[in-house]
Chain A
């Protein structure tokens, strides 16, 4: 976070919060009605893209792709009884990536004309040729057949951009009112929406038009005990989803109760924001007086809304092939799961651990028809019965692990940014034997049930991690006995996944989402989901995080 964000969070008058520093790339602030106007016709986009591809080839490129992108965002932010800010942004431009002299080159322009795109293509070729002089390894692309002219759209029921802003404000203010009525000291609530309209064309003969939607409603409730100066927060148990506004129409069939005595409700494909804020307000007040945890070894029962982030950090990231190969060494880090480590067949987890990568799952953040280098998306195994079987890879990496197919997980956050390998959805498969969360808890002698994600930290090779949560409940002799506070667990990735002793069945399975996963320099954001059912891990080291500062 930089100074600008600091000022925003400090409660500056609504407006200044949302001025992007460089709207050309981050999106221009526009009237909300503008977000409902259609983008450029697909036939025009094809003509524009061809101008870029032809210019690149004429300048000496052996491969080129053009991405014409229109990114629409709308965010509504409120606190207590007031609207803090509403922003509607539109970003429109084209990014051109080429290979010349065996080297990548990239350029972007917001001049979306045949001349503008052709000029950017020529610049991309110039950059590729200049960089080829200090290039050691020539780019090799896994083959992709051209798809011709195709399209894909997130299967949404209600476009959230078509819902009047007033309805969103009314929902958020009613959520806030509920919390305040129930005794919360403060509440912030938001609805964030994204629509990526992407057109991809490449010299392989693909012309792909995609319309991608995401939505993320959320809140944070704070309770304060003025006399002691103690404060606690509870964040929403919603997930960002690849859905439309229908996510905010709650359905009873999408609700999953946590274990008896926990007062936790999880959500599948729809979210009851009013119900969750009521639970949150009740829980945040309980957190002020909850018992401080005694450190030691506990069996952990982890709710999917918590476990999703642990999967993200300890499985999703270490199996990104660019990290494994060293491309992220200076920033995000490398990985313990090297090719040499994989060859030893050391168990990543117990036999119950089956983890799939996927770009198809309906409602997920990662679902698209084709990735940002024109590869049709798929699902594949990463960990099978505890053994690492594959990584996440894109076209220029497949040959490095002796394969000849991309996994279709190449992504750029915007037309102005170069695409690179990003995490697909990475999900733990539910147990094959019928098991409810209550049945799971019944067998735990000394444990902690954790829901929601809190503080999280992991080393640069993904061995050692520490996670907090939103709510913690003690389990004693098969029963939830009360709320705990000051809980964080520390573990080693392999020891943790090898301690996995039970996974609830499909009926408990749901998606958690990371809306802004960061990687790369300059850093780019991507959104990804992680599915799981409630899962048990035996004998995990829990620390007490309470401190005194005088």
Chain B
């Protein structure tokens, strides 16, 4: 029963609500039907599948709230789950951040999910093709293919009703030369798995692996870099761009503990913090990265401008913080779109006199939350560019850089590509700070 239709889900939630004796009650159903395959050393290592639905019940008495969950759906279990939420609520302390449940909302209808998905057999075929391509060239592949369908349905005692279904498939592969002297990486994701070609991505990773053998050491220092989208957004909040975007939180800024904090108090919303070519927004209706129609509270998502021509236009406000500060609450998006130009990565390389092409960044950690300084390393394909062409592979480097400084040092912005549920362009940045060399391949 993993993927329930809107009618099936709402009928079940309506029944659960009918058991409630609380002042307010909110119920939600989450379900997924997903599968994965993992391989390494040109051989399958594990494969798995998850087919599950779960129900969460939040009961409220005044400002006291309790949540209980279950994953069986007979009437007795459902009743017990509601009773348990009510018992927990009665014992809970009053929440000083209590917000009443939302009433009925109007939602956008993002572009529909894919209808044909991968199966265990087609996943195994894709993995086999990826491995065969590498084995034929005496290369070693390690990859992970994961995806499926998910749904979420919400309903509450104030009349809110919401339902959405989504599909997603993710693939990543690291290809290494047999002697371990070269390594390449490629990653992709898609709403419709037909648009994700594991073979093409494996070929890209294989080319980078072969091209990165015999890497030369260069002196650490400030360099012009071309960061491919994977170097900007792979890793969610633990990525250079993700760390910045997920950190646009009004409360931590207002409290004085964020890079968005204003000296003397308040936050820096409305200030120009970046190069004027930087524009970042979210849009659930984007055809290439359709987003969620609502957040976990049931708050509708809409097109939101986060950074426009270098100016921070919005911060994330929870319902509680928005009311306290007389602002509008923000439903956080499931993905971002960074506006870009028309140039491909290859074209950006052509226009570069001297610089470094970075495929991927790794083990990114915040060093100083005050300046959003991050450290991490290049990985799986780092190349020196001279006179508009890749000249030779270079050894990996550790960087210490803030995305705030980085987005002020823009030389060029390429054509956005889908990555991790976002549209991200390759960026050409000047004065990117590398602080040491690594022998890692």
To the question of whether A and B form a pair in one complex, the answer is yes
Q: Is the CB of A330 within 8 A of B142?
A: yes
Q: Is the CB of B259 within 8 A of A549?
A: yes
Q: In the bound complex, what is the Cα–Cα distance between A520 and B212 (angstroms)? A: 25
* A contact set with B: CB distance below 8 Å: 1-4, 6-7, 9-16, 18-25, 28-31, 82-83, 86-87, 103-106, 110, 127, 130-131, 133-137, 169, 185-186, 222, 224, 226-231, 233, 325-331, 333-334, 336, 338, 416, 418, 420, 455-464, 466, 468, 486, 488, 490, 492, 521-522, 541, 543, 545-550
Question: Of the 9-residue stretches B103-111, B159-167, B344-352, B367-375, which lies at the interface with chain A?
Answer: B367-375
Given contacts A25-B52, A329-B40, A549-B259, contact A134 B128 (CB under 8 A): yes
CB distance from A279 to the nearest CB of B (A): 20
Cβ < 8 Å to A, chain B residues 343-389: 362-373, 375-377, 379
Residue on A with the closest CB to B246? Answer: A6
Pairs across A and B, CB under 8 Å, 12 listed: A12-B319, A15-B67, A15-B95, A83-B93, A134-B124, A229-B261, A231-B257, A333-B362, A334-B176, A457-B377, A459-B398, A490-B436
Residue on A with the closest CB to B292? Answer: A3
At the interface, yes or no: B405 with Cβ under 8 Å from chain A?
yes
Chain A residues closer than 8 Å to B32, beta-carbon distance: 22
Q: In the bound complex, what is the Cα–Cα distance between A510 and B77 (angstroms)? A: 47
Cβ < 8 Å to A, chain B residues 104-130: 120-121, 124, 127-128
At the interface, yes or no: B50 with Cβ under 8 Å from chain A?
yes
Q: In the bound complex, what is the Cα–Cα distance between A548 and B373 (angstroms)? A: 10
* The 8 A-B residue pairs with the shortest CB-CB distance in the complex, in nearest-first order: A464-B438, A329-B142, A229-B263, A461-B440, A459-B440, A136-B43, A330-B142, A23-B69
Cβ < 8 Å to A, chain B residues 7-50: 28, 30, 32, 36, 38-48, 50
Residue on A with the closest CB to B271? Answer: A550
At the interface, yes or no: B297 with Cβ under 8 Å from chain A?
yes
At the interface, yes or no: B431 with Cβ under 8 Å from chain A?
no
Q: Is the CB of A130 within 8 A of B404?
A: no
CB distance from B387 to the nearest CB of A (A): 30
Q: Is the CB of B28 within 8 A of A19?
A: yes
CB distance from B245 to the nearest CB of A (A): 10
CB distance from A302 to the nearest CB of B (A): 18
Residue on A with the closest CB to B438? Answer: A464
Chain A residues closer than 8 Å to B58, beta-carbon distance: 15-16, 19
* Number of CB contacts from chain A to chain B under 8 A: 291
Question: Of the 9-residue stretches B84-92, B192-200, B224-232, B409-417, which lies at the interface with chain A?
Answer: B84-92
Q: Is the CB of B372 within 8 A of A29?
A: no
At the interface, yes or no: B262 with Cβ under 8 Å from chain A?
yes
Count chain B CB atoms within 10 A of each CB in A18, A134, A222 and give the residue with the most.
A134
Q: In the bound complex, what is the Cα–Cα distance between A137 and B45 (angstroms)? A: 10
CB distance from A192 to the nearest CB of B (A): 18
Chain B residues closer than 8 Å to A14, beta-carbon distance: 65, 92, 95, 97
Q: Is the CB of A463 within 8 A of B439?
A: yes
At the interface, yes or no: B276 with Cβ under 8 Å from chain A?
no
Q: Is the CB of B439 within 8 A of A464?
A: yes
- Choice from B52, B372, B436 contacting A24 with Cβ under 8 Å: B52
Chain A residues closer than 8 Å to B404, beta-carbon distance: 549-550
Q: In the bound complex, what is the Cα–Cα distance between A11 and B69 (angstroms)? A: 22
Chain B residues closer than 8 Å to A457, beta-carbon distance: 363-365, 375-377, 398
Q: In the bound complex, what is the Cα–Cα distance between A12 and B28 (angstroms)? A: 17
Q: In the bound complex, what is the Cα–Cα distance between A464 and B400 (angstroms)? A: 13
Q: In the bound complex, what is the Cα–Cα distance between A333 and B440 (angstroms)? A: 10
Q: Is the CB of B371 within 8 A of A492?
A: no
For the A-B complex with A10-B252, A31-B87, A106-B48 known, give 11 more contacts whose Cβ atoms are closer than 8 Å.
Answer: A1-B238, A7-B318, A19-B296, A22-B52, A23-B69, A24-B53, A130-B120, A226-B256, A230-B370, A233-B257, A521-B146
At the interface, yes or no: B441 with Cβ under 8 Å from chain A?
yes
Count chain B CB atoms within 10 A of each CB in A83, A455, A548 and give the residue with the most.
A455
Q: In the bound complex, what is the Cα–Cα distance between A528 and B179 (angstroms)? A: 33
Given contacts A3-B332, A7-B332, contact A545 B256 (CB under 8 A): no
Contact flags B218-262 to A (C-beta < 8 A → 1, else 0): 000000000000000000111000000010010110011101011
CB distance from B282 to the nearest CB of A (A): 11
Residue on A with the closest CB to B364? Answer: A457
Q: Is the CB of A185 within 8 A of B256?
A: yes
Q: In the bound complex, what is the Cα–Cα distance between A1 and B238 (angstroms)? A: 7
Given contacts A11-B321, A25-B50, A228-B263, contact A336 B439 (CB under 8 A): yes
Chain B residues closer than 8 Å to A13, beta-carbon distance: 65, 95, 97-99, 319-320
Q: Is the CB of A29 within 8 A of B67?
A: yes
Given contacts A13-B98, A460-B362, contact A127 B47 (CB under 8 A): yes
Residue on B with the closest CB to A491? Answer: B436
- Choice from A7, A11, A461 contacting B441 with Cβ under 8 Å: A461
Chain A residues closer than 8 Å to B5, beta-carbon distance: none
- Choice from B52, B120, B295 contacting A127 with Cβ under 8 Å: B120
Q: Is the CB of B257 within 8 A of A7?
A: no
Q: Is the CB of B367 within 8 A of A488?
A: yes
At the interface, yes or no: B425 with Cβ under 8 Å from chain A?
no
CB distance from B127 to the nearest CB of A (A): 7
